[in-house]
Amino acid sequence: MFGLLKTYDVHMCSEVKGKVLLNGKSVVGAKISRKLNYIHKFV
């Protein structure tokens, strides 16, 4: 019962690093979007 009050840190996915290139050159002003879908089912 006391487990219901316990908090957890959850890491859903790792950090992403990189460069956006077009023909080998950096893309200036590129807008990057990252989404994560998570469905948790209680059994």
Which of the 8 DSSP states describes residue 15? -
What pLDDT is stored for residue 2 in this prediction?
Answer: 58
Residue 2: phi and psi, rounded to 5, are -70, -20
What pLDDT is stored for residue 5 in this prediction?
Answer: 72
What pLDDT is stored for residue 1 in this prediction?
Answer: 53
Which of the 8 DSSP states describes residue 4? G
Each residue's pLDDT tens digit in the chain (43 positions)? Answer: 555 677 777 777 788 899 999 999 999 998 988 887 777 666 5
Give the CA radius of gyration of the chain.
Answer: 19
In 1-43 the beta strands, taken as DSSP E runs, fall at 21-22, 25-26
What pLDDT is stored for residue 28 in this prediction?
Answer: 93
What pLDDT is stored for residue 33 in this prediction?
Answer: 87
